[in-house]
Chain A
C-alpha cells in the first residue's frame, strides 16, 4: 500500500467494521508475526495464552514485553481471564528479574493509546528491572490541584466506575455525586452566560471604536483580559463535538447526563494504533 497516503488509509480504517479492523491490524502487527514464529525474537516464556520476549530496545537489561497471543490493541479489549493470567505471569517475571538479574526493583507499565506512549498496536505489558540510580525516568511528577477540579473529576469518575461495576451508590453518596454534577453544569451554564455577555461587550467596544475611529489603548487592554474566558468557551465547543460522535453505550447512561457523555470512544484509540 505504498501509494496510499496517511489520510486515505485513515479514511479506509474508519470505515472498517471491528472484525475487518482486527484482521487488518493483525496482518500489520509485528508482534503477531513474532508470536507466529515468522520473525525471530528472544522468547523467554510461552504458554497457550501469553508470550514474553526480551525488548530489543530495552530501558534496562532484562526489559521484557509480555503480551497475549491473541491480538488486542488496548487493555479494555482484553478479556478478563487473559488479563488475570497476564498479571500472574507479570508477578512471576518480576520475581525472576529480582533473583536472576539482581534487580533492586521492577516497574510494570501498560500504555493504552498513543497519547500514553504506546508504540505498538499489540497490547503488551512492559516489565523493567530497576537498579539504584539507573536514571530511568519512570517517576511520577505530582501536581497540586484545586479542590474544585478534584471534586469534578471524582464526581464524573465515581459515577462511571459505579456504572461499570454495576454498583448502586447508596442514597447519600448518589446525592453527593448528583450535586457535584449539578454544580458542574451550573458552573458551565454561568460560564456560557458570562461569555455571551463578554462577547456582547466586546462587540459594543468594537462598535464604539469604529465610530470614534481612534483606537483607545484601554480597549486593547480589555481585549486581552477577555481572551481567557473566550478560550474556555472554545474548549467547551470542542467537548460538544466529541459528544456528538461518541456512539458508545448510550443506553445505560441516563440520569447522570453530563457525567458520562464526553468520554472517548475506545475504538478510535484502537484505530489510530492500527494506522501507525
Chain B
C-alpha cells in the first residue's frame, strides 16, 4: 500500500528535515503543521495501521520514547504541559493509515481544545458497560506481559501472538480511503 509516512521515512532527505529521533523500532518527527507550538509524532518504522497490530514490545518502546520526548519538551521549551494522544481509527480522528502517537506541547490558556463534554449515564448503562468489559477481558487481546519479565529483550523478533486478527475491520476501513 502507498503510505505517506512510509515514504517519508524511506526518503532520507525528507526524513532528515523533520526527524528529531530515530532508532530501530520507531522514529520521532516534528510536525510541520503542528497543533500547538511543538507537536511531535512517533511512528513505528514498520507499517501498522492501528494500535491492535503493534506487537507489545514495540508498543512499550514507543510509549517510552514518547515519554522521553515529552520530557524533552518540558526541559527545552517553556511549556506547562504535554498531551499524548493516540487516534486509533477514523472516527477517533486518525489522519494517516500508519499508527502514530502525538505529543503536543501545551501552555497555559493556549486555546487548544483537547477536551470533551462529560456525559451523564444511567446506573444501568454503567453496569452494562462494566459487565461487557469484564466478560471479554480475559478472553481477548494480548497476553499480559508483567513488567518484571522480558522488558528489554534484545531479540527484535516481532512477537505477533494472538492479536493479529488477520484482517481487522478497522484496517479494511482505511483501505477504502481513496
- A residues with a Cβ closer than 8 A to B are 42, 44-45, 47-49, 54, 56-62, 64, 75-76, 78, 80-101, 104-118, 128, 130-134, 136-145, 149-150, 153-154, 156-161, 163-165, 239, 242, 248-249, 259-260, 262-264, 266, 269
Contact = CB atoms under 8 A, between A and B. Distances in A.
Interface in B127-161: 127, 129-130, 132-137, 140-142, 144-148, 151
- What's the interface size class on B, roughly? 35 or more
Given A91-B141, A264-B78, A160 B72 contact: yes
Contact of B88 (A84, A108, A153): A108
Contacts, number: 308
A266 B32 CA distance: 26
Interface string B56-92: 1001111110011111111111111111111111111
B93 A112 contact: no
B135 A263 contact: no
A99 B151 contact: no
B8 interface: no
Given A54-B126, A59-B116, A84-B63, A96 B136 contact: yes
Which of B54, B72, B76, B91 has the largest number of chain A CB atoms within 10 A? Answer: B76
B92 A143 contact: no
B172 to A, nearest CB: 12
Nearest to B118: A57
B125 interface: yes
B75 A248 contact: yes
25 contacts: A44-B130, A57-B118, A83-B64, A88-B60, A89-B144, A91-B54, A97-B133, A100-B135, A104-B89, A104-B91, A107-B85, A108-B51, A113-B81, A115-B110, A130-B89, A138-B116, A140-B39, A142-B31, A145-B32, A156-B76, A156-B77, A157-B76, A164-B75, A249-B75, A269-B74
Nearest to B165: A95
B12 interface: no
Which secondary structure dominates chain B's binding surface? mixed
Interface of B: 18, 20-21, 28, 30-35, 37-40, 51-52, 54, 56, 59-64, 67-95, 102, 104, 106-110, 112-121, 125-127, 129-130, 132-137, 140-142, 144-148, 151, 163, 170
Contact of A157 (B30, B93, B106): B30
A141 B112 contact: yes
A154 B32 CA distance: 10
B132 A133 contact: no
B32 A45 contact: no
Contact of B87 (A58, A107, A118, A132): A107
A94 B118 contact: no
Contacts of B61: 84
A92 to B, nearest CB: 4
B129 A54 contact: yes
Nearest to A105: B89
A75 B84 contact: yes
Contact of A92 (B68, B86, B144): B144
A180 B77 CA distance: 15
A105 B170 contact: yes
Given A104-B91, A116-B83, A140-B102, 5 more contacts: A57-B119, A86-B63, A92-B137, A95-B163, A137-B113
A88 B62 CA distance: 11
B70 A132 contact: no
A128 B86 CA distance: 10
A104 B113 contact: no
A221 to B, nearest CB: 30
Given A83-B64, A113-B82, A76 B70 contact: yes
A117 B151 CA distance: 31
A132 B51 CA distance: 18
B88 A105 contact: yes
A113 B67 contact: no
Contact of A91 (B51, B69, B71, B132): B51
A239 to B, nearest CB: 6
